[in-house]
Amino acid sequence: MKGRPPGKGDAPRGRKPATPGKSFGKPSGAPGRARGGAKAATARKGEGGKPASKPPFKSGPKKPAAKPAAAKAAPVVQAAAPKPSAAKGVSLDVRQYRVHADDDGIRLDRWFQRHLPDVGFNIVSRWSRTGQLRVDGARAAPGDRIAEGQMIRVPPAEAKAAPSERPARRVPVIDLTPDEIAYAQEMVIHRDAQAIVINKPPGLATQGGTKTDEHVDRLLDGLIFNAESRPKLVHRLDKDTSGALLLARSSRAAAHFAKAFSSRTARKVYWALVIGVPSIADGMIELPLAKQPGTGGEKMHVDEAEGLPARTRYRVIERAGNRAAWVELQPYTGRTHQLRVHLAAIGHPIVGDGKYGGKDSFLTGTISRKMHLHARRIRVDHPDGGRVDVMADLPAHFASSLADLGFDLSLGDMPLDDEIDRSPTREDEKKFARQHAKQIRKDRKGERRSRGGGG
């Protein structure tokens, strides 16, 4: 019966479209496709003699009907895609940055290290040479100092080289044992969000060097606590000097403290036990210092001709006869070995300082041969307001020597000059009045003598 002509029960050639919801109604969104599907169905009906209900469904499925909508959205996605650079995270726009107070006075290349560490020094230099790097509209160099409020123009970021072409520089990590971490943390006498102060023991260097493997810098990994990075050294103490050593817990704090030390707003107070007793109880030593030739820079000496200015304030706290004196020292400059050289230069070397005092720097009896120089107190403005003001206890050998010489430890902490109340007392006012009255009488007496001589 395959070759039988169509009968009355077959679908007529010109039948009406199916009702909504049927398979024939689905391609209604594309009339052209529906008409094409009907023609194809009629052709197949004439060929095979089967109903045309299925062919229209195959010729107009759901997927082809959705294509026009997808074609409309595609250009939007393609138009946005080419905008970024091929390198991930690279901007094609010039960037503008305002200099904040924390960065006031630093070099421009240092600013990039802090805020755009991905931009290397070579790139900054190239931007500067080509005039792309500008501060407040003017061309700038990497070494220029920037000020708060200025505007830095940064060119578009450049793509980084592939890791295989330029391997990332890794910072070596020093592994500490649990005992070393405990030792480092036992030295801490003050800690806040921006600063740590440790009481450095004598014999421990601040930084490493030739034949120096044990030092504070190596132990800083044990003082991270809850911070993102290890603390930073902002000043130093000699290996044999004990006492308060300040550490910064962030780059911002390090810059703040470094500025405080360079501008001399930070105050440091040392205690020392010296040979003999200075004739002036409260004085200032002003002797320029330079590296001593032939020592490889390991030793300093007084050099009036080529030395750098150095000033040390000292005050005698107590004396043990003429044998020794316990003194307070305040350095107003920060030269290498300044306190040790100054005291030796005025004839009162620090007890135990054989390097500058020779054999005359040691006391007989029970007094230790270790150096007796201790950073007792440090006072510096805090980056977040207020002050860091910390005192460090004496090491055992220093405390024992003071006790053996009969010194009273309660006398040691003398007020700094700016902590002394300078307002006049009632007695001061009376004294000033007496001196004023005495001067008036003296002036009147001189006038009478002058008149008498003229007659």
CA gap 165, 161 in Å, rounded? 6
CB 232 within 8 A of CB 256: no
Quote the distance between the C-alpha of residue 147 and its chain's center.
18
* DSSP secondary structure letters along 177-242: -HHHHHHHHHTEEEE-SSEEEEEEPTT-BSS-BTTB--BHHHHGGGG-TTSSS--EE-S---TT-E
Looking only at the bridges linking them, the beta strands covering 242-248 and 195-200 are antiparallel
238 counts as catalytic: yes
Q: Which of 102, 95, 94, 96 is nearest to 147 (CA)?
A: 102
* DSSP secondary structure letters along 394-435: PPHHHHHHHHHTT--GGG--PPPGGGS--S--HHHHHHHHHH
CA gap 114, 247 in Å, rounded? 19
Phi-psi region of 264 (alpha: psi -120 to 50; beta: other; left: phi over 0): left
Catalytic residue among 93, 104, 109, 238: 238
CA gap 25, 7 in Å, rounded? 26
CA gap 441, 72 in Å, rounded? 108
Q: How far is CA 134 from CA 111, 122, 233, 393, in A?
A: 13, 16, 32, 51
Active site residues: 238
